Amino acid sequence: MRKGRLCLTSMIIFLIAVPITAQEGGGQRGSTPAASGPAMTMTIPAFPDGGQIPVKFSQAAEGAAPGEGTSPAISWANPPAGTQSFVLNMRDMDVARNRTTDDQAHWVVWNIPATATGLPEAVPRGSQLSDGSYQISATGPVYRGPGAAATGPRHHYMFELFALDTKLDVQPTADAFETRANVMKAMQGHVLGKAVYGGLFRRPQ
């Protein structure tokens, strides 16, 4: 009788121990729920999320070079633990380029340092910025402001911020759409978090 009790006890210990060992063995990263805490957020003080983008930050601004404009100040907070760099992707969701699924590449900035908490207003033109990050748009190595026609509907412009667990080994090419595709491909498997902020715009009549 005593021997039977010992066998039963051993079986119970074994059944309890097995799932604990399996959990400790891991699984793919990201397969378990994220740790509790505030989500990463992004803010553009110049306009509310989903609101009208001021003309100042568009191609229609007085003195703006063709296809350019002044970039708005952007800030973010609560990046995930382990963030090594950020990518910012600004898109015009209402443009289908050359009958493809590509939308307009208004601004792609990658390898933004993990220590950054935002971008200042009026980021200067140039392929590589002073903090080591790169930028490109359909206009060139510069922010391309919203430019929807005055006679059509307002376009939806999305600012997407990605927190990555690595820096990207991607160099800008002569084509913004090719470069953006390269950045997006290199990001796969490295995204720790994402924040999105949107705005509407059409040129004043």
CB 127, CB 97: distance < 8 Å: no
CATH entry, 39-201, from 3.40.50.970, 3.40.50.1370, 3.40.50.2000, 3.90.280.10: 3.90.280.10
Nearest CA to 161 out of 45, 92, 76, 103 is that of 76
| Mean pLDDT, the chain cut into blocks of 10 residues (205 residues total) | 46 38 34 61 98 97 94 98 98 78 90 98 97 97 95 95 98 95 98 97 93
Bridge partners of residue 76, in order along the sequence:
42
Residue 179 three-state SS: helix
Confidence (pLDDT) at 87: 98
Contact 174, 127 (CB under 8 A): no
Give the model's pLDDT for residue 184: 97
Strands 74-77 and 118-119: antiparallel
SS3 10: helix
Give the per-residue pLDDT at 29: 32
Domain-by-domain residue ranges, the chain? 39-201
How high is the pLDDT of residue 5?
47
